[in-house]
Amino acid sequence: MPFVIFTMAHAIKITFPDGRYKEYAAGTTAEAVLKDIDKGLLKSVVAVQINERCVDLSFSLNEDSVIKPIAIDLKEGLEIYRHSTSHVMAQAVKELFDGVKVTIGPSIEDGFYYDFDSPNPFTPEDLKRIEKHMLDIIKKNKPFERAEISKKDALKLFGDMGEIYKQELINEIPEEKVSIYKQDGFVDLCRGPHLPSTGWIKAFKLTGIAGAYWRGDQKNKMLQRIYGTAFPTKQELDEYLYKVEEAKKRDHRKLGKELDLFSISDDVGAGLVCWHPKGAVVRSLIEDFWKKEHYKHDYQIIYTPHIAKVDLWKTSGHWEFYRGNLYSPMDIEGQDFIVKPMNCPFHIQIYQSQLRSYRDLPIRYAELGTVYRFERSGVLHGLMRVRGFTQDDAHIFCRPNQLEDEIEGVLNFTLYILRSFGFNNYDIYLSTRPEKFVGTLDNWTKAENALRYALEKTGLKFQIDPGEGVFYGPKIDIKIKDVLGRAWQCSTIQVDFNLPQRFNVAYRGEDGKGHQPIMIHRALMGSLERFFFFFLEHYAGAFLVWLAPVQAIVLTVTEKNNKYAQEVFDALRKQDIRAEVDIRNEKLGFKVREAQLKKIPYMLVVGDKEEEKQVVAPRTRSGSTLEPMSLEDFIRFVGEENKPRPVG
C-alpha cells in the first residue's frame, strides 16, 4: 500500500548507501523505506543500520537518518538470523519441559547457544524433540515483535513467569526502559534486532549439550547449555555439518593418540606435552628445517634459560601488564625467580652484553625458546592451548633507516616457511595504533608505514585492523587457512618501541652518540605446539613425505621373503630414508591396512617375484599401486620428495 505522504507537517531526510536521499513522513518504518527503494530487498534484508545502530525492519524513523540494509548473507545478518533461532529454541524448550528457567542465548561464531536452568538434565534424545518442536514454531511464521516497557513493569512481567535470571539482568540495566521481544506467546528480554518472523528460519541443527556456570563464574549455579547452528539454506547447513564431521576425524588429539605422536598426562600436569618418538621425529625435522633456513637468512641462533629473576619481568613490563598469565615466583637463595613467559628480555640481555655500533646492525637473534604461561584448565585444549610451549621466536635490532627492508625480509621469509609446509591460503591483517600506547606518534607513523610498504611491495592483499596493535607498536598478523577453511592465528611481525626504551637499549651512531634501535618481534609459526596442531589436522595425519616419521615400510608376502625384506630395509636406512619392516606371519592385506592406518606414505611389497627380479612394488597410503621398480629407482624417487618445497 502507498506510504509516502508529503503533505504531513514533519518530513525527514533518509540518505541511502549510494549517497542519494529522499524525504519521508516521520514515523515511516524502515521496511517501508526499503520497499520504496527496491521491493526485492525485502527478500534478503533482515534488519537495517540506522545512524550506526542496528534495528528491526519495523523500526519507525523519526529523524534525519542514514540507512544501510543488512542482508542475511552479511556477518551482521547471519548473527541476527542465528540469534533469532536461539529465541525459537528457547520457546521450544519452555513449552516442552516444565520448570525450566531461561538465561541468555547469544549468537556465536558458527552458531548460537542458550543457557537453561532445568531441574532435569537434557539428553541427545531431547535435542531431537526440541528440533521437531522448533519446526512447528517456524511453520507458524509468527512475527518477532519488539516492545519497550519500564524496568518496573519488566521486573513484574518476568517475576510473574518465575524468570529470576532475567530479573537479575534487568536490575543491572542503567536505562529506565528495557526492550522485550515476543513471538507466538514467548517473551524474552533482548536488545534485538531480530528477523521479521520465525518463518525466515530455513535450516538449523542443534549440535550439543554442555554445562556452563551462570555468567561464567564458578561460584554460581551450573546451567545447561544447548548449542546449535543455523544457515539461510539447507545446502550451507549441510556443508557446515560435513566440515564439522570432517573436523572430528581430523581432531589432533585423536590423531595424536592413534599415530602415537604425543600425550598429555594428568600425572605430569594439564597443558604440558610429552612428545613420543614419532612425534619427536616430526618436531625435530621441523626444527632442523627452521634452523637451516634461519642461518641462510643471516640469523644467529641463541639459547636462553627457562627461569629468570622477577626484576627482569618488572623492567620489561610483563609483570605489570600480564601478571595474570605469569606463574608465582620461587625463592632461590632469597631472590624471587619465575619461569619465563617470553624470550624478549633475554635477547636484549645478549644484545647488551657488549657495545654495539651502527655498523653491527641489523642484529637478528632467533631461538626455539620454551616459555610457560598460566592458562586456566577450562581453556586448555590439546596442543592448541597449553601451559608450556616452544616459540619460534626472533628479535631484530635495527636502525630506523633499516626498518622497511627488515620488515619486507621477514614477511618474505614468513611466507616461504608457510608455503614450505603446504600453506598458501591465508588472511593478512595490519593492526594499527590503539588508544593506549607508548612511544611517539612520529615513530608509530614510521612503523605503520613500514609495515604497509612491505605488504604493498610484495603485492599481498591485506586488511586494516584499526586500533588492534599492541601497546608497544603496530603489527602484521597472518592467519592461515586449513583444508576445511578454518583460519588460525599463526605468524606475527611486531614493531616495538617499548622494550628498547625500558632497557635503555642503544647503539653508537655515525655521530659517535648513543641512539635507540627499533626492535622487531617476529614468529613465523607461532609456537611449535600450535603449529603442529593445525598442521596435523590440515593433513589429517598424512604428513608430507619429508616430514613423515616413517616414510616407507617393507611388507613381506610370506616368511620366505624375510631375508630380502631385511636387505631392502637396510638399504633404505643407509640412504637416510626413515623405514620400518614388517615380517610378521600375517596376511598381506592385513599388513597393508595397518600401514595405511599409520599414514605411512609408501608400502614396499616384496614377494617371490620381487625377490627374483630384485625390485620392490610400491603402494601409496591412498591405495594406489605404482609400477615395480628397482630399489635404487625408489630411493631416488623418495629422495626427490624428501625436500621441502614451497607451495603456491
Q: What is the DSSP letter of 216?
A: G
- The DSSP string of 451-514 is HHHHHHHTT---EEETT-SBTTB-EEEEEEE-TT--EEEEEEEEEESHHHHHTT--EE-TTSSE
Burial of 78 (0-12, 13-18, 19+ CB in 10 A): buried
CA distance 202 to 73: 13
Cell of 289: 628445517
Catalytic (active site) residue 87: no
Torsion of CA 404, 405, 408, 409, to 10 degrees: -150
Instruction: Write down the catalytic residue from 82, 194, 294, 373.
Output: 373
- The DSSP string of 309-356 is EHHHHHHHTHHHHSGGGSPPPEEETTEEEEE-S-SHHHHHHHHTTS--
CA distances to 172, 572, 608, 639 from 616, rounded to whole Å, are: 75, 12, 11, 16
Instruction: Write down the catalytic residue from 56, 115, 393, 477.
Output: 393
Q: Within 10 Å of residue 648's Cβ, how many Cβ atoms?
A: 9
pTM: 0.81
Half-sphere exposure of 319 (CA within 13 A, CB side): 16
- Contact (CB, 8 A) for 291 and 332: no
Catalytic (active site) residue 75: no
CA distance 56 to 181: 11
Instruction: Write down the catalytic residue from 49, 391, 494, 551.
Output: 391
Q: Are strands 53-55 and 186-189 parallel, antiparallel or unpaired?
A: unpaired
- Per the listing, cell 637468512 goes with 297
Q: What parts of the chain have a pLDDT lower than 50? A: 1-9
Is the bond leading into 143 cis (omega within 30 degrees of zero)? no
Cell of 172: 543491572
- Contact (CB, 8 A) for 61 and 12: yes
CA distance 298 to 296: 6
Catalytic (active site) residue 391: yes
Q: What is the DSSP letter of 202?
A: -
Residue 397, strand partner residues: 363, 519
| Residue 4, pLDDT score | 45
Catalytic (active site) residue 344: yes
CA distance 287 to 293: 10
Instruction: Write down the catalytic residue from 318, 395, 619, 621.
Output: 395
User: Tens digits of per-residue pLDDT, 246-273?
Assistant: 989 999 999 999 999 999 999 999 999 9
Instruction: Write down the catalytic residue from 344, 398, 402, 591.
Output: 344
Catalytic (active site) residue 395: yes
- Contact (CB, 8 A) for 224 and 121: yes
User: Tens digits of per-residue pLDDT, 435-463?
Assistant: 888 778 888 888 899 899 999 988 889 99
Catalytic (active site) residue 267: no
Q: How many residues are present in the chain?
A: 648
| Residue 553, pLDDT score | 97
Residues with Cβ within 8 Å of 196's Cβ and at least 6 positions away in sequence, in order, are 31, 46, 56, 57, 58, 143, 144
- Contact (CB, 8 A) for 615 and 629: yes
CA distance 499 to 352: 13
Catalytic (active site) residue 566: no
Instruction: Write down the catalytic residue from 250, 283, 452, 475.
Output: 475
Half-sphere exposure of 580 (CA within 13 A, CB side): 19
CA distances to 271, 322, 327, 447 from 319, rounded to whole Å, are: 22, 6, 10, 26
CA distance 413 to 168: 53
* % of the chain exceeding 90 in pLDDT: 79
- Please name the residue ranges forming H helices in 528-580: 528-538, 562-574
| Residue 9, pLDDT score | 44
Q: What is the DSSP letter of 353?
A: T
Half-sphere exposure of 339 (CA within 13 A, CB side): 13
CA distance 579 to 570: 9
146: left (phi over 0), alpha (psi -120 to 50) or beta: beta
Domains recognised in the chain with CATH numbers: 11-71 (3.10.20.30), 76-239 (3.30.980.10), 262-304+343-538 (3.30.930.10), 308-339 (no CATH), 545-641 (3.40.50.800)
